[in-house]
Structure 1
Amino acid sequence: MSGEHDGPRPWSRQALEHGGFAGFVPFSQLPEAGVPQAPGVYAVLRTSGAAPMFMRESSGGRFKGKDPAIAPEALERAWVDGPEVVYIGKATRGSAGRRGLEKRLDEYRRFGAGEPVGHWGGRAIWQLADRDELLVAWNATEEDAAAVESRMLGDFRDRYGVLPFANLRR
């Protein structure tokens, strides 16, 4: 029988692996994971099939004194059933050419550990009760990372009608 079950499930680990993504490690393992310094895109995955539980407080840092917590009711409304991908982000070279995936993902990890670091995007993941089990994957790109991220977000929206859970710009 052929049909939609022939390939990897959309927006799953297998689909990202098929698309060239690497890593698939918990945030805690990022420092030793060999994340490339190149620009690229990254995704956060929640592989548990259980219904998500949202914490009232965020483990995220208070960058510029702002509380990163989002009302659990808003998080419940933003949840997307089906895909494993819960956030898509990008890492550019930056104006000085010293940024990239390694630096951006390190900022995201440190923000989630409570440091006052500037990674406000994707902050909703830090209110998931199982946030320590989330996986991070990346794909270094020759193409402009912002263009790749935009295309990925568009593809996700085309399939599900909304952006991934933690991409809160609706």
Structure 2
Amino acid sequence: MVPVPRTELTQETLAAAGGFCGFVPFNKLIDSQVPREAGIYVVIRSTTSNPGFLPSSPAGHFQGRDPSVSVDALSAAWVDGATVLYVGKAAAGKAGKRGLRKRLDEYRRHGAGQAVGHWGGRYIWQLQDSATLLVAWRPTPDQDPGEAEASLIAEFIELHGARPFANRNRGATTARSGPDRAHGRPE
């Protein structure tokens, strides 16, 4: 899918121009028709008001690692005016059995306190309103999910001058280069 230039990334533009569907809270993912194929997903917040941060994360401690970061780190990562908080990818895996459904279930379980390996995007669990966040997805049958993820993160950076709040890198592709404007470092 060719990216459609947008003036903002919102639920409406992600659905209409971006082909995303779902837009359900994490606790409703089990009952949703999340596809099994590879794709990308976003976590969005329905408001642009300043958030409250929890001092520690309720997310699971995978391999004994505490997913918590300082409130200062969360505040520094916050992007004023943005509703997209995280962009992630879900590959099909070697056996073709991973995909969006499996990856989003891992993300949901991690946030629910289970020791599941979903380290990326962990900042969202320290938002006081994390239970109200919405998850949407888009299969990418004609595009590598890593490229689709990097493309959407790049679009976000063009709009906001920084990565989405919970993205700590610019995506899984090495095709992008240049300074990371959020921190003035190369990728």
Q: TM-score, normalised by structure 1?
A: 0.93
Alignment of 1:80-119 (within 5 A): 80-119=79-118
Q: Is the 8 A contact 1:8 1:14 kept in 2?
A: no
**C-alpha separation between the residues in 2 aligned to 1:134 and 1:59?**
15
What is the CA distance between 1:96 and its match in structure 2? Answer: 1.6
**C-alpha separation between the residues in 1 aligned to 2:28 and 2:42?**
15
One-letter code of the match for 1:12?
T
What is the CA distance between 1:160 and its match in structure 2? Answer: 1.1
Q: Which moved more, 1:48-57 or 1:85-94?
A: 48-57
Aligned to 1:165: 165
String of CA shifts for 1:31-54, please: whole Å, max 9, x gaps.
001100010000000112331000
The runs of 5 or more residues in structure 1 that have no matched partner are 1-6
Aligned to 1:16: 14
The runs of 5 or more residues in structure 2 that have no matched partner are 170-181, 183-187
What is the CA distance between 1:8 and its match in structure 2? Answer: 7.2
- Answer 1 or 2: higher relative contact order, Cα 8 Å, separation at least 6: 1
**C-alpha separation between the residues in 1 aligned to 2:55 and 2:94?**
36
**C-alpha separation between the residues in 2 aligned to 1:38 and 1:109?**
18
Aligned to 2:185: none
**C-alpha separation between the residues in 1 aligned to 2:168 and 2:145?**
19
RMSD: 1.3
**C-alpha separation between the residues in 2 aligned to 1:9 and 1:37?**
31
What is the SS of the residue equivalent to 2:163? coil
Number of residue pairs aligned between Structure 1 and Structure 2: 164
**C-alpha separation between the residues in 2 aligned to 1:8 and 1:25?**
22
Aligned to 1:152: 152
Aligned to 2:175: none
